[in-house]
Amino acid sequence: MSQPVVLVERPADGVGLVRINRPEARNALNLEVRKLISRHLTEMGKDDATRAVVLTGNEKSFAAGADIKEMAEAGTIEMLQRGIHKLWRTIAACPRPVIAAVNGFALGGGCELAMTCDIIIAGESARFGQPEVRIGIIPGGGGTQRLTRAVGKYKAMKYILTGEMFSAKEAFDMGLVSEVVPDGEVEKRAIEIARQIAELPPLAVQLAKEAVLAGMDAPLTSALAFEAKSLQILFSSQDQKEGMRAFIEKRKPKFSGR
């Protein structure tokens, strides 16, 4: 019996891990994989026991792009009805912090999937890229927008218009990747960061994530107003009282998520 194309694991308290498991296809993102990732992240976003999520593949590929065989003969109406753009929005909307642990290839849809995450940990040998132009299309999962916002117009244009790959170090230097670590330590480091986040007050973490994402697409004055309101809201939480009392009393806080 074949293994599921997406696996869910619990490597630590408060941490969920979603693993793409199509090694025979370099973890290419077919419709089934996209739907499962979307479903699992939606469920984890509603689960109080999950406070951070790691999204990963295997040692050879995070995800080497979309499944070309699945879309090669598709027409406009069929692509519209598949609703892939809606699945991308669902993945990006997960209220929990999501950490991409990237080894090997993160190309096309795989690069876009990593960019929907909040933190990207990459192995030294990881390779990124948006090669869609080489097969007659353009990035359609946010690549033309998220890559440009992350690295700037001129770097993004180079890679989107040529389809060239770039290394983990180049991605880090451009601001696309949070950390570069040895290949064998990628998943371990991602789980370590997820565990660190999971120990923090979840309401503060959630509102911090919301403030960053909302502010990116808003005028500075609106973004600052959103930030201020989010801060003020947290003063009604039990975790704010516990956190500040623990700081004053020089003890470790016990956060309840309330």
256 is a domain residue: no
CATH number for the domain spanning 121: value is: 3.90.226.10
Please write the tens of the pLDDT for every residue from 187-215: 999 999 999 999 999 999 999 999 999 99
Q: Do 137 and 231 belong together in one domain?
A: no
Q: Are residues 114 and 242 in the same domain?
A: no
Task: Report helix angle 202-216 to 238-249, nearest 10.
Answer: 110
Number of domains in the chain: 2
Same domain, 136 and 226: no
Say which CATH number the domain at 230 has.
1.10.12.10
Q: Are residues 18 and 63 in the same domain?
A: yes
* Average per-residue pLDDT for the chain: 94
Identify the pLDDT of residue 1. Answer: 39
pTM for this prediction: 0.94
For residues 65 and 163, state if they share a domain: yes
- Residue 167's φ and ψ, nearest 5 degrees, are -80, 170
Q: Are residues 192 and 209 in the same domain?
A: no
Summarize pLDDT for 125-136 with one digit per residue, the tens. 999 999 999 999
60 and 177, same domain (yes or no): yes
Q: Are 88 and 142 in contact (CB under 8 A)?
A: yes
In which domain, by residue range, is 75 found?
A: 6-198
Has residue 254 been placed in a domain? no
pLDDT tens for each residue of 217-254:
899 999 999 999 999 999 999 999 999 999 999 999 99
- Alpha-carbon distance of 150 to 160, in angstroms, equals 13
Residue 97's pLDDT band (cuts 50, 70, 90): very high
Catalytic residues: 112, 132
Burial class (CB in 10 A: 0-12, 13-18, 19+), 121: buried
Q: Are 160 and 232 contained in the same domain? A: no
